[in-house]
Amino acid sequence: MLTKAVRGTQDVLPEKVHVNQFIEAAMLEIARCFGFKEIRTPVFEHTELFTRSVGDTTDVVQKEMYTFEDKGGRSITLRPEGTAGAVRAFLEHSLYNEALPQKVSYITSCYRYEKPQAGRLREFHQFGVECFGPVGPTADAEVIALASEIFDFIGLKGIRLELNSIGCPSCRPAYHEKLADYFKSKRDDLCKTCQGRLERNPMRILDCKSPVCSAIAQAAPLMMDSLCSECLEHFEGLKQGLDDLGIAYIINAGIVRGLDYYSRTVFEFISDEIGAQGTLCGGGRYDGLVEEMGGPQMPALGFAMGIERILLLLEAQKVALPPATACELFIVTHGENAHNLAAVLANEMRAAGLVVDFDLMGRSVKAQMKHANRISALYTVVIGDDELEKGQAGLRNMQSGQTQVIELDKFVDSFMTLRAKDATESLSQAVEASLFDN
């Protein structure tokens, strides 16, 4: 127990964390280029926020939430997704009075009590964006373009964009009726949860994971056939916008999304290479949610992508990402004076932004060299009494094996110069080699 993480949670070890850091930085940076600013909201909220916004007939609310009472008797829930918190903050801080659109992005941990399996965890992470204000389909195309740019930038391939429209409050009620009529004729075959959903929210049955319910849902009437003219026009506008941006999509009238708040546009980015949990990103419009939560009438839209699923696909496709920054210099010391000098030099170099280490374990010179190799230090320098006396030491390039003289009293400048010289040399060697190849 003590040395085992809770089921459905996982650690990211130092060895691998640079991959998370790289993709998360890319997500926030690309979002920034699209005009989105980061928002940070609490990991827990009042339970009611999620039951109201996500919807009390959804799997998330009915089965998956981590809900508890705090010592003050409040019902608290660990966030199962990011939109509700962003909307709450938007309302609480009256961001609707600021210049519209308000565009926010976030990276958050999320909590859902689900059956853990590949790509499905109980603690997972999402990158998400929300855009408040725009009513027209250009905004839908913009958030889809943002997600698409992220996948392109990090080098993922073969991801399919599926689109649908699930209508609006003026065309959905009639569709609900059609749908309820259809499901009523199969009531006894539906799972218990879906029997309960029949009256309250028959669309949720379309999203049920039980094989029997999803088989029944296959032949259900489609929202796409019942859209009002405004919703149709919006959908056509979105398709045109995506065509203009050169973003390929397919229409899948079966997508309804697992959360209640969506209206009109819904979309998913899907991969077939990471098993059954292939949805990397899901999103859409939620034009009624802000008002429903007590705010002004405010069209809005967004998406969330699952970071762990993206990591799975990166691994499956063996995408080459920039390596972790290695230790640039390991200072090997012999004797107390050298050790003390190493501490000062390392401090100075670290302040200049270099990754520098020296011995903290009381190792012999030989063992320190071995350690420098093990951590793949790019350079080493050995400092002992002789070097202290001469004021010079040998800086060894661990890749080429070459040693150059470095002045101890101008250590940082001297290191920078030698390193730059090495970089120029290896660059010109690479250029020569490639010219020779041709």
Select the span of 41-49, 119-127, 312-320, 385-393 touching ligand ATP (CB under 6 A): 119-127
Report, in Å, the least distance between residue 176 CB and ligand ATP: 20
Residue 134 or 306: the one with the smaller Cβ distance to ligand ATP is 306
Tokens in use for 276?
Answer: 């059954």
For the beta sheet containing 279-285, the strands, ordered from the edge strand earlier in sequence to the opposite edge, are 37-38, 102-111, 123-132, 300-306, 279-285, 263-270, 160-165, 250-251
Report, in Å, the least distance between residue 362 CB and ligand ATP: 44
Other CB atoms within 10 A of residue 176 CB:
17
Report, in Å, the least distance between residue 122 CB and ligand ATP: 7
Handedness of CA 354, 355, 360, 362 (dihedral sign): negative
Beta bridge partners of 394: 405
Tell me: does residue 162 bind ligand ATP (CB under 6 A).
Answer: no
Residue 257 or 334: the one with the smaller Cβ distance to ligand ATP is 257
Report, in Å, the least distance between residue 342 CB and ligand ATP: 45
Query: Scanning residues 306 to 345, which ones bind ligand ATP (CB under 6 A)?
Result: 306, 308-309
Tell me: does residue 134 bind ligand ATP (CB under 6 A).
Answer: no
Select the span of 38-46, 86-94, 145-153, 279-287 touching ligand ATP (CB under 6 A): 279-287
Binding test (CB under 6 A) with ligand ATP, winner from 86, 139, 150, 281? 281
159 residue type, one letter:
I
Task: Please answer whether residues 52 and 230 qualify as being in contact, where contact means their C-beta atoms are separated by less than 8 angstroms.
Answer: no
Listed in sequence order, the residues at least 6 apart from 355 whose beta carbon sits closer than 8 Å to its beta carbon are 325, 326, 327, 328, 329
Three-class SS state of 393: strand
Upstream peptide bond of 202 is cis (omega within 30 degrees of 0): no
Q: What is the 3-state secondary structure (H, E, C) of 151-170?
A: HHHCCCCCCEEEEEECCCCC
Report, in Å, the least distance between residue 239 CB and ligand ATP: 22
Listed in sequence order, the residues at least 6 apart from 370 whose beta carbon sits closer than 8 Å to its beta carbon are none
Number of residues that bind ligand ATP (CB under 6 A): 20
Select the span of 22-30, 219-227, 299-307, 329-337 touching ligand ATP (CB under 6 A): 299-307
Binding test (CB under 6 A) with ligand ATP, winner from 39, 121, 290, 369? 121
For the beta sheet containing 392-397, the strands, ordered from the edge strand earlier in sequence to the opposite edge, are 356-358, 329-333, 379-383, 392-397, 403-407
CA distance 105 to 35: 10
Residue 213 or 259: the one with the smaller Cβ distance to ligand ATP is 259
Tell me: does residue 81 bind ligand ATP (CB under 6 A).
Answer: yes
Q: Which helix (H) or strand (E) holds 380?
A: strand 379-383
Residue 10 or 402: the one with the smaller Cβ distance to ligand ATP is 10
Classify burial at 318, counting beta carbons within 10 Å of its beta carbon; exposed 0-12, middle 13-18, buried 19 or more. exposed
Beta-strand relationship, 300-306 and 123-132: antiparallel
Task: Please answer whether residues 234 and 134 qualify as being in contact, where contact means their C-beta atoms are separated by less than 8 angstroms.
Answer: no
Task: Please answer whether residues 107 and 78 qualify as being in contact, where contact means their C-beta atoms are separated by less than 8 angstroms.
Answer: no
Phi, psi dihedrals of residue 40, rounded to the nearest 5°: -125, 125
Binding test (CB under 6 A) with ligand ATP, winner from 44, 90, 106, 124? 124
Residue 112 or 334: the one with the smaller Cβ distance to ligand ATP is 112
Residue nearest to ligand ATP (CB): 306
Site string for ligand ATP, 86-115 (x = CB under 6 A): --------------------------x-x-
Binding test (CB under 6 A) with ligand ATP, winner from 126, 265, 368, 414? 126
Residue 258 or 288: the one with the smaller Cβ distance to ligand ATP is 258
Tell me: does residue 57 bind ligand ATP (CB under 6 A).
Answer: no
Other CB atoms within 10 A of residue 306 CB:
21
Q: What is the DSSP letter of 186?
A: T
Tell me: does residue 274 bind ligand ATP (CB under 6 A).
Answer: no
Residue 44 or 50: the one with the smaller Cβ distance to ligand ATP is 50
Binding test (CB under 6 A) with ligand ATP, winner from 57, 148, 164, 279? 279
Which spans of this chain sit near ligand ATP (rule: CB under 6 A)? 81, 112, 114, 119-121, 124, 126, 258-259, 277, 279-282, 304-306, 308-309
